[in-house]
Chain A
């Protein structure tokens, strides 16, 4: 016998369910009057420095059907690669956004500034990216992924470099389709399945 480790484990996740909106974005769900406004309606405020961008996309299940009930959270640095609270960070960038798939079309839209290069752990830099967390009915543990950009130099990014299969790497890279406009589709399963992260 040995001494017990007395480990404390993380509380297990459970699905956010179909009604996550009333808890996290109640005004979006039509529940008015509890909070003055929903949390995380924008990751930036008026005057945020940098390139203003719009990322649009859909999230598809294994049959190719776009989810209508998914909720997303994004987290990112400012245009200089500084996170809120860090020295010199842009006070107009709070970095956090909550948004949902449209109940009719399934499409989502994120309006923000393009993030900067962020340090990697142990030296080096990560290419500009937005961290994304996805919850929905049928997703038992919230899914982490990242949005990179096809008009940035992603060659030295340590996370992308760990994805051996080149076609899978492309699932994390938003495609520029206009001035300040990007398309980022997410596939939960099947052909072109998005790379989901454990970090």
Chain B
């Protein structure tokens, strides 16, 4: 029963678009309300990607940019979790992409001029497909915190950017994963755009020792929920509505 409309996005469970503490949002947030309508096939279909897309190291950021097999510098971590929809059903075979700063807090991007050096063995992006149960995993290094131009002394908490497709274009989501115990989370104006504290907590991955490998890596668990689709039983709608 996957043929109903997408469940409406709960805007109160998302960041506010306009937040003066995150200065760039001031000129980039719409002032008019969004036009709300029930989803159509344009939103209920979406691109699908297969395993032929993936290389063997795509979900291993420790090694996927290394020319000679030397690992990236930093604290080795396993990032893993499940992708579910709002009905609690796993979302299998969906593409997840991540990107992040290196252990010193520097991105491999021409616009990033932070003092911390680039790591020659760290590119900073990876991707994978969820399995039949919606599970995914990445091996990476813990990204560093870094300062950014906003208020005079703002720092981003350690975070990994996460992009998920789902099975419908209307499920498309980009978010960020934070790390349990990071004192910068509560000082971050970007994290603070999520006004519902319970929702912000869902962006903070707990340390997961049951998935850590002794003498190798720690693990953090980050589950992701995408919009669900209503079931169509008992629907009886007049044409065109």
Contacts and interface: CB of A to CB of B under 8 A. Distances in A.
Interface of A: 7-24, 26, 29-31, 33-36, 39-40, 61-63, 65, 67, 69, 73, 75-77, 83-86, 94-96, 118-124, 126, 129, 131, 133, 135-144, 146, 158-159, 162-163, 168, 188-190, 193-199
A23 B163 contact: yes
Contact of A17 (B19, B161, B199, B241): B161
Interface string B177-191: 000000000000011
Interface in B50-70: 53, 55, 58, 64-65
Given A9-B10, A123-B240, A141 B35 contact: no
Contact of A85 (B38, B45, B88, B108): B45
Interface residues of B, number: 90
A107 B182 CA distance: 39
A13 B202 CA distance: 11
Given A131-B42, A198-B36, A23 B240 contact: no
Nearest to A158: B240
A14 B112 contact: no
A12 B109 contact: no
Contacts of B41: 83, 118-119, 121
B interface majority secondary structure: loop
Nearest to B54: A35
B225 A140 contact: no
A190 to B, nearest CB: 8
Those 7 A-B pairs whose CB atoms lie nearest each other, nearest first:
A23-B99, A138-B24, A96-B47, A138-B28, A198-B34, A140-B15, A123-B239
Given A14-B176, A29-B110, A24 B5 contact: no
Interface of B: 5-6, 8-11, 13-17, 19, 22, 24-32, 34-43, 45-49, 53, 55, 58, 64-65, 84-88, 95, 97-99, 107-112, 123-127, 161, 163, 169-170, 172-176, 190-191, 193-194, 196, 199-200, 202-203, 224-228, 237-241
Given A19-B107, A21-B109, A139 B40 contact: no
Contacts of A163: 35
Contact of A34 (B24, B27, B123, B241): B123
Q: Considering residues A40, A62, A119, A121, which has the most beta carbons from chain B within 10 angstroms of its beta carbon?
A: A121
B45 A159 contact: no
Given A9-B86, A22-B124, A158-B240, A75 B58 contact: no
Contact of B202 (A11, A30, A40, A122): A11
9 contacts: A11-B173, A11-B226, A15-B193, A23-B163, A65-B27, A86-B45, A122-B237, A142-B174, A162-B37
